[in-house]
Amino acid sequence: MSDGFPIPAPNRLPVRIDPCPIVEAIFEVRFTSKVPLATLPGMLYAQIREKYPQQKQLPVAQLPEQIRQQDPTLANLPLLQFLGNDFLIQAGPSMVSLVTKPNEYPGWSAIHQELEWFLEKLKLADVVNETERIGVRYIDFFSTDVLNHFIMGLQVNGQPLTSSECAMTTVLRQGALAMRLQITNSAIIGTKEGPKRGTVLDVDSWFSALDAKVFENGLQRFDEAHHTIKSLFFGLLKPEFLATLNPEYK
Amino acid sequence: MNTALNYDTRREYDLTKDLQDLASWTGLRPAMPSETAREELLLRKLGPRGWGRVYHFRYFYSQGWSEDSRPPLSPRALDAFTRFLERITFPSGVLPSVFLTDASGLELSWEDRSGQSVQVEFRSESIEFYRAASGEEGEVSFEQLETLATRLSA
């Protein structure tokens, strides 16, 4: 364990596991905008259209702006998606995010490269006034109940609680990075083969405003959050379970 | 963040009766999942009215508020404000007042043990303060936030 963080960091981290459980990875910047909502998508699109030519409006965009802005559960949701070959870019009135395609995780080096490109384009779009938060979220899915393969679990009267419907949520902090960890063994997720039931491990992490300035330390913050989430993920797995995922090391 | 999964959006708090009136006039909604600790801190240090005002400033004063079309509440000012509240100790029984400033920052104001005014203004790049009892005033960086909170604590 390090710095009182409850989940031990493994000595070495795999570069790949197979099958890869990552459903989706999201890299998000929230900010106060220099421009009105109506202008923002156009200014962003002008910068990214070569790689992200297709646009798609998301259902939440149908709600009136005033209702969206005054409801914190809606205020930071994206309204538009721009579709590229390997990633999606999402935009809302005060956020943008780069998202991997579902079940097609391209690996960190490809993501890092795309983030670097995306942040340059975001700067050129000149829409960010002040950074509110830099966030990284990874959602992993296992098609069976793997709760007992994690080192974290629920207990009742000192005995492990095993149930077909079990969910745990906690917020952890490592340095300036806050992480909301959510595990459930009764998730249903849409796949190409149809809906599947299984276990979801969802880690949402973020640096808040005083620790994040997107054009000064944005890329570095994404790197840090990715590394911490990766370490958290492998730290959570029991070694015998990790062995079944065919880990490859450098 | 958008995802295939939805967050649980049930209320983080069950409002007691004295808070329910406030909830109806401000349209208060549950905290975002990542913000429970901040909401709890605001409630504890500012009371329900102050908590409601901060909520109001965050979500009801969006881009272009006021006749001068001001920007929304500065996230850095809000973050600094929250960290300051974590560290400050107010005199027993004192609930400070909170205001949205013209510069889209937050101002915190309360009376010290001698009944004299203390004011702290959180801006997007720095903090200004004034203490009537000593006539002391100044501007500090966010790195000095903790020291300032200690100095101004009861």
Cβ within 8 Å, pair A190-B124: no
Q: Domain count of chain A?
A: 1
Specify which of A152-156, A186-190, B30-34, B114-118 reaches the highest per-range mean pLDDT. B114-118
Tell whether the model's pLDDT for residue A247 goes beyond 70.
yes
State the Cα angle at A102 between A100 and A105, rounded to 5°: 50
Q: Which residues pair with A190 in a beta bridge?
A: A195
Domains of chain B: total = 1
**In the predicted model, what is the mean pLDDT of residues A201-206?**
94
Amino acid letter for position A189? I
pLDDT digits (tens, 9 = 90+) for B69-124: 788 899 999 999 999 999 999 999 999 999 999 999 999 999 999 999 999 999 99
- To the nearest whole percent, how much of chain A has pLDDT over 90? 72
Lowest mean pLDDT among B16-20, B49-53, B138-142: B16-20
Cis ω for the linkage preceding A19 (within 30 of 0): yes
| Mean pLDDT across A10-14 | 93
- Asked if residue B62 belongs to a domain, the reply is yes
Q: Is residue B3 part of a domain?
A: no
pLDDT tier at B1, thresholds 50, 70, 90: low
Q: Does residue B127 lie in a domain region?
A: yes
Looking at residue A3, its pLDDT comes to 61
Residues 6+ apart with CB under 8 A from A7: A1, A151, A152, A172, A232, A235, A236
pLDDT in tens, B49-76: 999 999 989 888 877 777 777 888 999 9
Q: In chain B, which residues touch A (CB < 8 A)?
A: 1-5, 7-9, 27, 29-37, 58-60, 62-64, 71-72, 74-76, 78-80, 83, 124, 142
Range of the domain at B51: 30-152
Say whether pLDDT at A237 is over 80: yes
**Is B86 within the bounds of a domain?**
yes
In this prediction, residue B34 carries a pLDDT of 56
Task: Classify residue B7: in a domain, yes or no.
Answer: no
Q: Both tokens of residue B87?
A: 């560290």
Tell me whether residue A60 is in a domain: yes
A110 domain residue, yes or no: yes
Domain that holds residue A203: 22-243
Q: Is residue A250 part of a domain?
A: no
Q: Which of B8, B72, B75 sits opposite A209 (nearest CB)?
A: B75
ipTM for the predicted complex: 0.82
A73 touches chain B (CB under 8 A): yes
Give dist(CA A247, CA B17) in Å, integer. 55
Cβ-defined contact of A32 to B30 (cutoff 8 Å): no
User: Using the beta-carbon criterion (under 8 Å), do B2 and A206 form an inter-chain contact?
Assistant: no
At residue A73, the pLDDT reads: 81
The verdict on residue A4 lying in a domain is no
- The verdict on A196 touching B (C-beta cutoff 8 Å) is no
Judged by a CB distance cut-off of 8 A, whether residue A190 touches chain B is yes
Q: What pLDDT score was predicted for residue A210?
A: 95
Q: Is A6 a domain residue?
A: no
Flag whether pLDDT at B7 surpasses 60.
no
CB spacing of B4 vs A23 below 8 angstroms: yes
Kindly state whether residue B66 falls inside one of the protein's structural domains: yes
Give the pLDDT of residue B3.
53
* Of B87, B98, B105, the residue nearest B154 (C-alpha): B87
Say which residue, A38 or B38, is predicted with more confidence: B38
> Domain for residue A115, yes or no?
yes
Task: Give a yes or no: residue A116 inside a domain.
Answer: yes
Question: Highest-confidence range of A116-125, A158-167, A182-191, by mean pLDDT?
Answer: A116-125
Query: Residue range A78-98: average pLDDT?
Result: 93
d(CA A111, CA B26): 42
Q: Distances in Å between the alpha carbon of B29 and those of A40, B33, B56? A: 27, 12, 11
Residue A13 is assigned to a structural domain of this protein:
no
CA distance A225 to A138: 10
| Overall average pLDDT of the A124-134 stretch | 96
Q: Which residue has the higher pLDDT, A2 or A245?
A: A245
Position B9 scores a pLDDT of: 41
- Provide, rounded to the nearest whole percent, the portion of chain B with pLDDT above 90: 62
